[in-house]
Structure 1
Amino acid sequence: MSYETRVLRIAMNGVTGRMGYRQHLVRSILAIRDQGGVTLEDGSTVQVEPILVGRNEARLEAMAARHGVAEWTTEVEKTLEDDSVDIYFDAQVTSRRVAAIQAALDAGKAVYTEKPTAETLEEAVALAALADRLGATVGVVHDKLFLPGLVKLRRLVDEGFFGRILSLRGEFGYWVFEGDHQPAQRPSWNYRAEDGGGMTVDMFCHWNYVLEGILGKVNSVYARAVTHIPQRWDEQGQEYKATADDAAYAIFELEDDVIAQINSSWATRVHRNELVEFQVDGTDGSAVAGLHRCVAQQKVHTPKPVWNPDVEEPQSFRDQWSEVPANDEIDNGFKAQWELFIADLCAGRPHKFDLLSAARGVQLAELGLRSSEEGRRIDIPEIRL
């Protein structure tokens, strides 16, 4: 049986930024376009056609020419009024996101967006409620769940490898140079609270969906957010005061009495295999997953060390773990979720990672900062639309 290929037109706002350009335009939408589209469950194919949206005409024009994209525009409102546009995608700075998504929803577009979806929980919930009321298909980027290491870790959970899961321990971060003698690897706004920066705001929305997606719902948080490096230098070499937290240390209590602790820091030097690693411990086994690799150790293969500070440890503990194979091709995580979202849109079903899921991430960030300010554990209430 042959099918006519359907084309989805996607207005992509914010593709002149690093994440919007590299991961969403080049490695996702253009890759999907160049492979011939997305094959759906019924065997038909849907192709994608990006429209580049932004504020810098010169950059958009050059980018469109470089990648063979037919359309680009700086007129967002006009683009949303175009009935031929199916999806609005947002990778702008967070402060611009709420108004843009609301306008897209009001215009009847499906929406796919980066996170956080809003600067406050109230705004994030309002967006989720609007999408629910309109019956719109919406999706929020949950890229880390599609990373090879976490795909393998999730498979171990699903197959019951751990037995009763006890805990998760996560380490994320690296040294971000201050910008005086060496340029910083991250933009300066990340370290200004007034511009929406901060480790807690940036990463807790990720940790919420990672924990939910692998182990279960987050019930409480106890966090300490700090600014270790008080002075930094911006892209023009000008010194500025860092007003946002550059590290956050947190303990999360999950359903089924699982305890998770995650350290996040831009003021730490890496002594691990990858920039982020998660160790899950259970009664029957343990595993350590990073961006790409995942290693595991069963209970029957667990060594029996004895504490003796007077003798150098004779065992090489890392050599006693086994590599978890992929057993399948694992594509770029951003691209994989784009394909899933497109398939859900074409099938007329909700996307699992929606604006309500994103609101829970914003909620965790808000309560994490509140926990730090008040120095106490805070229970997380259920969000109701």
Structure 2
Amino acid sequence: MQEIGIIMNGVTGRMGTNQHLIRSILAIRDEGGVELPSGERVMPDPLLVGRNERKLRELSEEHGVDRWLTDPDLETCLDGDDEIYFDSQVTPRRPEALLKAMEAGKDVYCEKPLAGDLETALEVAQTAERSGVKHGIVQDKLWLPGLLKLQRLIDQDFFGDILSVRVEFGYWVFTGHIQPAQRPSWNYRAEDGGGIIDDMFSHWSYVLENLFGRVEAVRCLEKTHVPERVDENGEAYEATADDAAYAIMELEDDVVAQLNSSWAVRVNRDDLLEIQVDGTRGSAVAGLRDCKTQHHANTPKPEWNPDTPKEHDFYEDWEPVPTNRELENAFKIQWKKFIRHVVSDEPFPWDFAAGARGVQLTEASYQSADEQRRVAIDELEI
């Protein structure tokens, strides 16, 4: 069996540990590797890299990973034989590490966002193109069961002409004063790369682009609703980053998308993420795992009358989309695709150019909020 060495930098963070190491690479290892088109299998061999020696040692011992190095040894491990460099560090540290990895000839895969600003993202994407290495960025939400069901409806032309998309995302993140926060404190400090626009709009970029079309313009309002929070050490700090954003985006083919993203909202919907799509022939609402539809023929005909009690249950008018096959963890699915891309040259369109477009949307949204106007988004040339 063939082995492929993977340098995993930043793996001691929450996402790096849970989604990328445990639920992806180690799960693939436990399954006997990635099956290639030839029927052969390739086994990932991770090398864990991070800044916290204690966490690295504990991860190594707990999960049977033989190889690990602390962050100052990054250049040392880039000199080795590992084929892939993966980065899930905090955003400000990512571009420099990716550039070093590409200079060393490594194929590169990373978390989003690609960089903290568009100029740097373009530099990284253009370097990747010039260097000839294979490159990819995490776009995990495309393989969530709910969004795969939504993609199936689009492929079957269920909606007719798509008119609009509404995205509702978020939940209440505790401030830390009474209950510990369930997100790290750096998320709420702009100087550390925090903010819900930085965190989520790279996601909305690829979700909208892959399902409905390119974002051509944005109007955005950002807010810091909660001005003070308490960090992991029990110390109060000023929240300098946005914890909510409200946007209207214009997509190709005259589709309008409305997106509410908030860490200061209490959930009154079926899931933490819901995407409603309305078309001339039908509508659908997709969550993380489920999706329900309402066809034109089954659409009720309500009339506005606030003077009488509501008797109609509008939820009853929707039909669930069946789960026709067992679906894997979304991060693991994309990891398998990238490994096959590296080893067997299978197509992989989720590259650094897509990552740069995510940063472009983020930057345009901040510009729109700062200048209180609509901002057009040009097509990027990499």
Please give the TM-score of this superposition, normalised by the length of structure 2.
0.98
Structure 1 stretches of at least 4 aligned residues deviating more than 3 Å after TM superposition = none
Residues 221-236 of structure 1 aligned to structure 2 (within 5 Å): 221-236=218-233
Query: Is 1:303 the equivalent of 2:295?
Result: no
Residues 307-326 of structure 1 aligned to structure 2 (within 5 Å): 307-326=304-323
Q: Distance in 2 between matches of 1:373 and 1:57?
A: 41
| Number of the residue aligned with 2:190 | 193
Shift of the alpha carbon at 1:183?
A: 0.8
Deviation per CA, 1:344-376: give whole Å up to 9, x if none: 111225521000100000010111010001111
Instruction: Give SS of 1:108's match.
Output: coil
Which of the numbers 268, 281, 286 marks the counterpart of 1:284?
Answer: 281
| Number of the residue aligned with 1:25 | 21
Instruction: Give SS of 1:177's match.
Output: coil
Which of the numbers 195, 200, 204 marks the counterpart of 1:203?
Answer: 200
| Number of the residue aligned with 1:155 | 152
Which of the numbers 134, 138, 163 marks the counterpart of 1:141?
Answer: 138
| Number of the residue aligned with 2:77 | 79
CA contact (8 A) 1:137 1:349 kept: no
Instruction: Give SS of 2:45's match.
Output: strand
Deviation per CA, 1:47-68: give whole Å up to 9, x if none: 1111111122221112111111
Q: Distance in 1 between matches of 2:68 and 2:285?
A: 43
| Number of the residue aligned with 1:168 | 165
Q: CA RMSD in A?
A: 0.8
| Number of the residue aligned with 1:52 | 48
| Number of the residue aligned with 1:61 | 57
For structure 1, the 5+ residue unaligned runs are none
Instruction: Give SS of 1:12's match.
Output: strand
| Number of the residue aligned with 1:12 | 8
| Number of the residue aligned with 2:291 | 294
Instruction: Give SS of 2:213's match.
Output: coil
Q: Distance in 2 between matches of 1:323 and 1:23?
A: 28
Query: Is 1:105 the equivalent of 2:110?
Result: no
Q: Distance in 2 between matches of 1:268 and 1:153?
A: 25
Count of residue pairs the alignment pairs up = 380
| Number of the residue aligned with 1:383 | 380
For structure 2, the 5+ residue unaligned runs are none
Q: Distance in 2 between matches of 1:249 and 1:123?
A: 26
CA contact (8 A) 1:199 1:246 kept: yes
| Number of the residue aligned with 2:38 | 42
| Number of the residue aligned with 1:275 | 272
Which of the numbers 119, 123, 128 marks the counterpart of 2:125?
Answer: 128
Q: Distance in 1 between matches of 2:58 and 2:190?
A: 33
Deviation per CA, 1:162-181: give whole Å up to 9, x if none: 00000000100011111111
Q: Distance in 2 between matches of 1:107 and 1:377?
A: 42
Q: Distance in 1 between matches of 2:252 and 2:172?
A: 33
| Number of the residue aligned with 1:181 | 178
- The change in CA–CA distance for 1:316 and 1:289 in structure 2 (over 3 A counts) is same
| Identical aligned residues as a percent | 56
Instruction: Give SS of 2:373's match.
Output: coil
